[in-house]
């Protein structure tokens, strides 16, 4: 920001042209006919739209120049894919495309890595959400988004949850002149004292087992081996493994 002017990528956005709806419609028709000059004018005439979307992400700590350039990619994609036969305003179609492109950029640069297939599902889910909002003018449910995509509800939930940015435990959530309340202060522990005592008792009981009993329980319940597999590994019969296993469990119970 310089003297109240928004400078992005070296461009004073205050001097960008602002197209009327009729002008956009005319330019889009010419673009679909292969007019490259009309395409350039349509891009320049919608850069303010990109800027308005970029402002939504101003609190992410990202370089605004980078977000603006990514938003322009979304704008160009929306121009190339816009269907003039549909009774939809160009801006209504373009905004979700621009938002989706920026969100994809933020996901790809997130420190928490998510598989490409899950990212693509999440991207499609967000596009479907924006589409449903524009159609119904209200927030769609996960079930409606899943139905729109033809995917199981659980898959959509998992995809959307996977791209949620992690929140620091020390991020402030409330401050009113006194001590600041952080996320860490709001984290609860559902375990009560009895659960902790049971865990301590369990650990103490296991420590009292013989080395062979510990080894058998480890192979059975940690490594997931059958009694026959355990018998072959430690060189005793399956019946002996079964007997020692029961003795060890009874010792822990008592």
Non-local (6+) Cβ contacts of 122 within 8 A are 107, 114, 159, 160, 162, 163
Residue 223 pLDDT exceeds 60 = yes
Residue 241 backbone phi and psi in degrees, to 5:
-60, -45
Least confident range from 84-88, 226-230, 242-246: namely 84-88
92 and 4 fall within a common domain: yes
90 and 29 fall within a common domain: yes
128 and 99 fall within a common domain: no
pTM of the model: 0.42
105 and 123 fall within a common domain: no
Residue 20 CA to residue 179 CA, distance in Å, equals 50
Residue 60 pLDDT exceeds 80 = no
Range of the domain at 12: 1-109
Residue 147's pLDDT is 92
100 and 3 fall within a common domain: yes
Final residue belonging to a domain, choices 109, 127, 147 = 109
208 occurs within a structural domain:
yes
The number of domains in the chain is: 3
C-alpha gyration radius of the chain: 30
Residue 4's pLDDT is 45
95 and 155 fall within a common domain: no
86 and 125 fall within a common domain: no
In the block, which residue shows the tokens 């998510």?
Answer: 114
Q: What is the dihedral of CA 56, 61, 66, 67, to 10 degrees?
A: -10
Non-local (6+) Cβ contacts of 198 within 8 A are none
Residue 145 pLDDT exceeds 50 = yes
Residue 3's pLDDT is 42
Residue 93 pLDDT exceeds 60 = yes
Contact predicate 53/13, CB 8 Å: no
212 and 146 fall within a common domain: no
122 and 104 fall within a common domain: no
| pLDDT (tens digit per residue) in 225-242 | 888 989 998 899 989 999
Non-local (6+) Cβ contacts of 146 within 8 A are 152, 153, 155, 156
39 occurs within a structural domain:
yes
28 and 81 fall within a common domain: yes
| pLDDT (tens digit per residue) in 5-28 | 555 555 665 677 778 888 888 888
Residue 205's pLDDT is 83
Q: Which whole number is the average pLDDT over 183-207?
A: 67
Residue 91 CA to residue 21 CA, distance in Å, equals 9
Task: Look up the CATH number of the domain holding residue 85.
Answer: 1.20.120.1810
Task: Look up the CATH number of the domain holding residue 220.
Answer: 1.10.10.10
7 and 98 fall within a common domain: yes
Q: Between 119 and 132, where is the model more confident? A: 132
Residue 165's pLDDT is 61
Residue 209 backbone phi and psi in degrees, to 5:
-75, 160
103 and 118 fall within a common domain: no
């Amino acid at each position: 920001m310089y003297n109240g002017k928004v400078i992005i990528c070296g461009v004073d956005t205050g001097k960008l042209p602002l197209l009327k709806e009729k002008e956009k419609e005319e330019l889009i028709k010419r673009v679909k006919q292969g007019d490259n000059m009309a395409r350039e004018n349509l891009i320049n005439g919608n850069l303010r739209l990109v800027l308005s979307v970029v402002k939504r992400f101003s609190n992410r700590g990202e370089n605004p120049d980078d977000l603006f350039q990514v938003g322009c990619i979304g704008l160009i994609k929306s121009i190339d894919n816009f269907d003039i036969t549909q009774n939809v305003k160009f801006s209504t179609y373009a905004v979700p495309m621009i938002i989706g492109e920026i969100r994809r950029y933020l996901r790809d640069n997130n420190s928490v890595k998510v598989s490409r297939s899950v990212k693509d599902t999440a991207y499609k889910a967000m596009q479907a959400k924006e589409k449903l909002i524009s159609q119904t003018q209200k927030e769609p449910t996960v079930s409606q988004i899943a139905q729109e995509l033809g995917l199981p509800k659980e898959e959509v939930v998992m995809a959307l949850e996977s791209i949620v940015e992690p929140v620091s435990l020390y991020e402030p959530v409330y401050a009113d002149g006194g001590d600041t309340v952080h996320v860490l202060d709001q984290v609860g522990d559902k375990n009560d004292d009895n659960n902790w005592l049971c865990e301590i008792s369990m650990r103490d009981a296991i420590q009292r087992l013989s080395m062979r009993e510990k080894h058998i329980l480890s192979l059975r319940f940690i490594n997931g081996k059958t009694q026959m597999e355990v018998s072959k590994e430690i060189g005793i019969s399956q019946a002996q493994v079964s007997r020692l296993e029961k003795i060890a469990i009874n010792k822990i119970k008592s």
